[in-house]
Structure 1
């Protein structure tokens, strides 16, 4: 996989933070967990239940050598969401997310969570949802 970065941009790879000083392309030749700076959610932006779930999974991806605490928090938060959620769309998404997290496929789980943001927003706004899942 080839990734292009702009000067000053950061990328998080297997828990390490890399910042480049000029425009550069990086080729990842093996299987790594990474996040681009633009995909990082700040704690202050985790203002809804699904955004909080995203933030927790993001922590698991960014610090793969120490996921114990984040994993426990994920389990509690995920279980609470499943317990209160009435939307079939959200429940199906939460099941898929749990499978991805269980398989340590955190990046794919983050994509699935992002795809549920509009569904969650519609639920919070009191609008019936019929939004298909799409990768964000």
Structure 2
């Protein structure tokens, strides 16, 4: 797999943080766990159920030593989201992410979850427009 990175960009590989000082192309020759900086979510951005699941899975990728504690949290959050959300696209995506986690395909799970952000926002939008009782 080839990855092209810009100057100053960071990426995470097998738990290590690597910063590139100039534009570079890197070829990964074996199976590694990696995450590009552009896909890293900050804790304060994990404001919805799917984003919280994403954050837990992200922790599993960035810090393999934390995977044992983050995995049960991700599974629990997926169960909560499956109860909370009814949209078929959301539930199918959540089930796909859960299946990826079971197979140890954490990066695949992140991709599935990232694709659900807009759907979740759409699902939650009517709730945001509901007038609050005074």
TM-score by length of 1: 0.87
Superposition misfits of 4+ residues, deviation over 2 angstroms: none
In the aligned structure 1, how far is the partner of 2:89 from the partner of 2:20? Answer: 40
Between the two proteins, the alignment pairs up a number of residues equal to: 127
Structure 2: gaps spanning 5 or more residues? 128-134
What CA deviation, in whole Å up to 9, does each residue of 1:20-75 have, x standing for no partner?
22221110011111111111000011111111111111011112233111012112
- The CA RMSD measured in Å over matched residues stands at 1.4
Q: Does 1:21 align with 2:21?
A: yes
Which structure has greater helix proportion?
2
Larger Rg: 2
TM-score by length of 2: 0.88
In the aligned structure 1, how far is the partner of 2:92 from the partner of 2:24? Answer: 39
CA contact (8 A) 2:46 2:52 kept: yes
Structure 1: gaps spanning 5 or more residues? 128-136
Instruction: Report the equivalent of 1:59.
Output: 59
In the aligned structure 2, how far is the partner of 1:49 from the partner of 1:39? Answer: 17
Alignment of 1:85-104 (within 5 A): 85-104=85-104
